[in-house]
Amino acid sequence: MQIFGVDIGGSGIKGAPVDLDRGDLAAERHKVLTPHPSTPDAVADGVKEVVGHFGWTGPVGVTFPGVVTGGATIRTAANVDKGWVDVDARVLLSERLGGLPVTILNDADAAGVAEMRFGAGRDRQGTVIVLTFGTGIGSALFIDGVLVPNTELGHLELHGHDAEKHASTKAKDDHELTWDHWARRVQKYLAHVEMLFSPELFIVGGGVSRKSHKFLPLIEGIKAEIVPAQLQNNAGIVGAAMRAAKAG
C-alpha cells in the first residue's frame, strides 16, 4: 500500500510516496526550498509542486512545524511565517491540491510515529521521547507506544531562551560550533528534558541523525538510553503517510 507524505520544514519541503508495508519511501523524495517569507499561500504552492512532481492523485499526509489541533488548525508557527496561526491547513492544502484528501499533523509527531512503528522505537514500552534537530527542535512523547501530541519541547526554557535557539542544528551552524561544543549544548538540553519526564529512551532524529557518530558518543551523564533515529530525515514523510492512511 502506498500513500504520499510531505514534510514541511523551516528550510525545505520534501515528499514522496511511501510504502506503508515497509515503512520506507517508494521513490526518491523530491524537495523544494521553503519560500521566504513562508506564508500559507507560498508554502501551499511548494507542497503542490512536490506532490505534482509525482503526478499523485490520492490521499496526502502533510507535517507542519508547529502545533496542529483538530487535525487541521495551526496554532503556533515558530520557524515559519506567523500568518499560519489559526489557518485551517487541511482546507488550504486540499484546495491547492485540487481536492485531494489531506491530513495534517505536527512534524515531530509524524517522525515519532514512524520511528515507533518502523524504527528505533519499535516494540519499546515506557516513556520514549523522539527529538528532531534541525531549524528548531521538535519533540514527540510516547507513553507505552501512545503519542501525547504537540509537546513542542524545543521551546522549553534553557539559559533564559527557547532551548532550540541554543541547541538546534541551526544554532550549531549559525554559531559555527564544533561537534564537541554543540554536543555539550545538546547534553544540557537532554538533561533538562530528562529531569522533567524521566524517559527510558531518547531517539535523536532530524537531518543531523546521519552524523550521530560525531556527537552522540560525546554526550555524558544522561541516564536514559540515547539512540539515533533509524529512518533519519525520512521519518516525517513516512509518519505523515501513516497518519493519512489511518484517516482514510
pLDDT digits (tens, 9 = 90+) for 148-181: 999 999 999 988 989 999 999 999 999 999 999 9
Residues 39 and 86 in one domain: yes
Residues 70 and 152 in one domain: no
Q: In whole angstroms, what is the distance from residue 246 CA to residue 59 CA?
A: 11
Task: Write the DSSP string, 195-222.
Answer: HHH--SEEEEESGGGGGGGGTGGG--S-
Spell out the residues 6+ positions from residue 48 whose beta carbon is closer than 8 angstroms to its own.
Answer: 96, 97
Please report the pLDDT score of residue 148 as a whole number: 97
Q: In whole angstroms, what is the distance from residue 119 CA to residue 133 CA?
A: 17
Whether 75 has a pLDDT exceeding 80, the answer reads yes
Sign of CA pseudo-dihedral 183, 188, 189, 191: positive
Angle at 152 between CA 100 and CA 109, to 5 degrees: 40
Q: In whole angstroms, what is the distance from residue 167 CA to residue 174 CA?
A: 11
Residue 112 counted as domain residue: no
Contact status, residue 132 vs residue 111, Cβ threshold 8 Å: yes
Residues 93 and 130 in one domain: no
Residues 47 and 18 in one domain: yes
Q: In whole angstroms, what is the distance from residue 35 CA to residue 219 CA?
A: 35
Q: Residue ranges of the alpha helices (H) in 64-220?
A: 89-96, 107-118, 163-167, 169-174, 179-197
Q: Whole-number mean pLDDT of the chain? A: 96
Residue with cell 509518519: 239
Residue 223 counted as domain residue: yes
pLDDT digits (tens, 9 = 90+) for 37-46: 999 999 999 9
Residues 242 and 218 in one domain: no
Structural domain boundaries enclosing 202 = 120-230
Residue with cell 514500552: 125
Long-range Cβ pairs for the range 31-36 (8 Å, 24+): 34/8, 34/9, 34/10, 34/80
Q: What is the CATH number of the domain that holds 20?
A: 3.30.420.40
Sign of CA pseudo-dihedral 45, 39, 209, 104: negative
Residues 97 and 144 in one domain: no
Residues 199 and 243 in one domain: no
Residue 85 counted as domain residue: yes
Please report the pLDDT score of residue 203 as a whole number: 97
Residues 28 and 80 in one domain: yes
Residue 240 counted as domain residue: yes
Residue 114 counted as domain residue: no
How does residue 78 score in pLDDT terms, banded at 50, 70 and 90? confident
Residue 115 counted as domain residue: no
Please report the pLDDT score of residue 247 as a whole number: 83
Residues 149 and 85 in one domain: no
pLDDT digits (tens, 9 = 90+) for 181-216: 999 999 999 999 999 999 999 999 988 999 999 999
Q: In whole angstroms, what is the distance from residue 126 CA to residue 61 CA?
A: 27
Instruction: Average the pLDDT over 24-31 and give the result.
Output: 97
How does residue 248 score in pLDDT terms, banded at 50, 70 and 90? low
Please return the burial class of 21, using the count of CB atoms within 10 Å of its CB with bins 0-12, 13-18 and 19+: exposed
Whether 56 has a pLDDT exceeding 90, the answer reads yes
pLDDT digits (tens, 9 = 90+) for 101-123: 999 999 999 999 999 999 999 99
Residues 25 and 77 in one domain: yes
Residues 133 and 60 in one domain: no
Residues 14 and 64 in one domain: yes
Residue 187 counted as domain residue: yes
Domain total for the chain? 2
Residue 71 counted as domain residue: yes
pLDDT digits (tens, 9 = 90+) for 224-236: 999 999 998 899 9
